[in-house]
Amino acid sequence: MAKTMRAAYLVKPRTIEIRDVADPAPGRGELSVRVERALTCGTDLKAYQRGHPFIAMPGPFGHQYVGTVHAAGEGVQGFEAGMAVWGVHSAPCGECPYCARARYSLCPRLPEDMAFGAFAQYLRLPARVVAHNVLARPAGMPAEHAAFLEPVACVVHALERIDWRGVDRVLVLGLGSMGLLFCQVLPQFTQASIVGMGRNRERLAIAGSYGLESVLDAAHESLARQLDEDAGFDCVIECTGREQGWQSAFDAVLPGGQVLFFGGLPQGTLFAVDTYKVHYRELRLLGAFHFGPPDVRRAAELLQHGDLRVGDLLSGEMRLEDLDTALRQMEAGAGIKYAIDPWS
């Protein structure tokens, strides 16, 4: 009789079921990982609220994980049962024109083998992911901290997109989990002054402990009024994932500056851009999505040696059965990220 495991399935928006399903058997080049912890994130929340183009419904979801090798498929080298690992859920093909130019996040085959299903006791990792983006985990690193590899890789990739020459002042707009990670990782890329802006008191306090130039409370002061009082920003990193945030980011950047749009909006969303400003102020508008293998490795180095305080972003640990509660609390602004223990 096949062994079974417990897994969270997103059946439809706002509906999660905990199901007993067959353990995933690894195929050639694949790994089955025993999940120790899986983290909730903004993508999970968006999928929960309205669905996501990469996440099938009904189907398993969750993609920020850490664990140990449960079983290795035929041909796998460098991994064996019981080995502690950390990794991400995707990998580029390595063969297309985008991969040839090291634009891995644009690889058209990227969605083919995304390993969604971290909110479960076991997770099957496709061969391409195993070959490029699964690593041996450092001894002594807490599991819930190691699970931050994927979001830190996203931040690294985004910051690599920016031309840091002449950037003296940066605004991080939106202080959710990703905005707070940007505040932590930015000093690894630039000596520019950093300003954070958000609404949630808990998150404002966390950002205030990072030695930023200042932290602005968007609930009590408008960005427009703040811009009347100072010189503005050479670079704005938009992390709210809201239309107003995108507009505010565009309005806050200085002539010759850069806007990095990191917080994604639903497909088809449009927002107004003053083309006069773009043209005559020579603005650079950048998008950032996902990551590539080099970003994963730099993220691993930062988590090991970069003094990142990722534990600040954990609002608690919950059972698999409480995943719905965790996402609802995030939706209400009552939590930043939750570590899900599928075995408790």
3-state secondary structure 164-224: CCCCCEEEEECCCHHHHHHHHHHHHCCCCEEEEEECCHHHHHHHHCCCCCEEEECCCCCHH
* Nearest alpha carbon to residue 22 among 13, 12, 32: 32
Please write the tens of the pLDDT for every residue from 42-79. 999 999 999 988 899 999 999 999 999 999 999 999 99
The domains of the chain, with CATH numbers, are 4-153+291-341 (3.90.180.10), 162-287 (3.40.50.720)
**How far is it, in rounded angstroms, from Cα 323 to Cα 330?**
11
- Higher local confidence (pLDDT), 226 or 258: 258
Side chain identity at residue 280, one-letter code? Y
- pLDDT for position 173: 97
Question: pTM for the complete prediction?
Answer: 0.96
Within 10 angstroms of residue 68's Cβ, the number of other Cβ atoms is 15
End-to-end CA distance of the chain: 24
Summarised one tens digit per residue, pLDDT across range 80-103 is 999 999 999 999 999 999 999 999
Taking the C-alpha atoms of residue 125 and residue 33, their distance in angstroms, rounded to an integer, is 7
Q: What is the pLDDT of residue 219?
A: 84
Average pLDDT estimate for 230-240: 91
pLDDT at 222 over 80: no
Confidence of residue 230 (pLDDT cuts 50, 70, 90): low
Residue 343, CB-side half-sphere exposure with 13 Å CA sphere: 7
Mean pLDDT, residues 312-335? 97
How much of the chain exceeds pLDDT 90, in percent? 90
Closest CA to 249 of 188, 241, 177: 241
Grouping H, G, I as helix, E, B as strand and the rest as coil, residue 251 is: helix
Write down the residue that tokens 């972003």 correspond to.
313
Q: What average pLDDT is seen over the chain?
A: 95
Neighbours of 285 (CB within 10 A): 14
pLDDT, tens digit, 9 for 90 and up, residues 237-271? 999 999 999 999 998 999 999 999 999 988 899 98
Q: Is the pLDDT of residue 339 over 80?
A: yes
Phi then psi dihedrals of residue 332, to 5 deg: -85, 0
Which tens digit of pLDDT belongs to each residue from 4-52? Answer: 999 999 999 999 999 999 999 999 999 999 999 999 999 999 999 999 8
* pLDDT, tens only, 209-219: 999 999 999 98
User: What pLDDT sits at residue 227?
Assistant: 66
What is the C-alpha to C-alpha distance for residues 134 and 111, in angstroms, rounded to an integer? 17
pLDDT score of 169: 97
> Tens digits of per-residue pLDDT, 152-206?
999 999 999 999 999 999 999 999 999 999 999 999 999 999 999 999 999 999 9
Residue 142 pLDDT exceeds 80 = yes
pLDDT tier, 1 (very low <50, low <70, confident <90, very high otherwise): very low
Q: How confident is the model at residue 223 (pLDDT cuts 50, 70, 90)?
A: confident
